[in-house]
Amino acid sequence: MAKIKVYYFSPTNGTLQVAQHLAEKMGRALRAEVEYHSYTLPQEREVLPLFDADDIVLWATPVYAGRIPNKTLDYVRRAIQGRGNPSVALVTFGNRAYDNALAELVGLMQEGGMQPIGAAAVVTRHAFSDTLGAGRPNEEDLAALDHFAELLAEKTLLTHNSKLISPKVPGEAHPEKYYTPLKTNNAPAGFLKAKPSCDPKHCTHCGKCSEVCPMGSISSSEGTPTFGGICIKCQACRRVCPTGAIAFTDPEYLSHVAMIEQTFVKPKKSEFYC
């Protein structure tokens, strides 16, 4: 019996929430078992997936600067190697835009020998903000996901008899640049090397921040976390901290957060292609 295999990068669990909703609905419609495989943590990216010929693949990733996150792109390219598997591309974005991310993921599926049958860009809370995209996915998003899952289930059944046309999605399959973040004065915001800091007065030395860092860049110094190596600003450490001891205080970063919270207030719609 076919399985639905879900592969996801989800540092703050928003992408996983959407992927689970879609996959479980598809699984019920197809009477298929659903398996979940994270590639969020460094050790999880040490192993490449294996797909059986009848597996249905749902690949889920958040959008970072309008594309697949840079530090996971090489893994995604190597991992998506199918055998004509029906596949679904899912990206989540924080109410700004998904730019080229969905087209990039669909393109990788096609190049990797998979057969995309659907693609979706779903609004979730922005990783940088507590207000932008708050409460998303909402009831309307979830209802649209339910309908999308039904369409995908119907289309999946047809893949056994014919080669289907992949959905046409907006954007470039081979983009060269990422979105340039802006400050409140519309000048480029340069916070690429910015890292979080920890207030030792509030740190309980629980170690949760180091456990969730997708880059493995948080270590402990006398019980207090130190932030070395690469930081992709995913906010996993900040959001998992039980006492709010971790914060991003870089002025360029904070100016960008203020800009997106001011500029992208109007709720965007989730988009579906089948």
- Domain limits of the chain? 3-178+267-273, 197-249
Which pLDDT score is estimated for 162? Answer: 62
Q: What are phi and psi of 258, to 5 degrees?
A: -60, -40
Look at residue 253 and tell me whether its pLDDT is greater than 80: yes
Look at residue 192 and tell me whether its pLDDT is greater than 80: yes
**Residues 173, 210: Cα–Cα separation, whole Å:** 34
Same CATH fold assignment for domains 3-178+267-273 and 197-249: no
Which pLDDT score is estimated for 221? Answer: 72
Percentage of residues in the chain having pLDDT higher than 90:
93
Bridge partners, 240 (sequence order): none
pLDDT band at 73 (very low <50, low <70, confident <90, very high): very high
Going through 94-173 in order, the beta strands assigned E by DSSP cover 115-123
Which pLDDT score is estimated for 158? Answer: 75
Structural tokens at position 61: 């990733």
**pTM of the entire structure?**
0.96
Structural tokens at position 73: 């792109």
For residues 113-125, give the mean pLDDT: 97
The whole-chain average pLDDT of the chain stands at 95
DSSP designation for 79: H
197-249 carries CATH number 1.25.40.20: no
pLDDT tens digits, one per residue of 34-59: 999 999 999 999 999 999 989 999 99
Look at residue 222 and tell me whether its pLDDT is greater than 90: no
Domain 3-178+267-273 CATH superfamily: Flavodoxin domain (3.40.50.360)
Q: Which residue has the higher pLDDT, 88 or 161?
A: 88
Which pLDDT score is estimated for 233? Answer: 98
Look at residue 230 and tell me whether its pLDDT is greater than 80: yes
pLDDT tens digits, one per residue of 12-34: 999 999 999 999 999 999 999 99
- Give residues with Cβ within 8 angstroms of 103, minimum separation 6: 169, 170, 171, 172, 173, 175
Which pLDDT score is estimated for 161? Answer: 54
Percentage of residues in the chain having pLDDT higher than 70:
98
**Residues 32, 26: Cα–Cα separation, whole Å:** 8
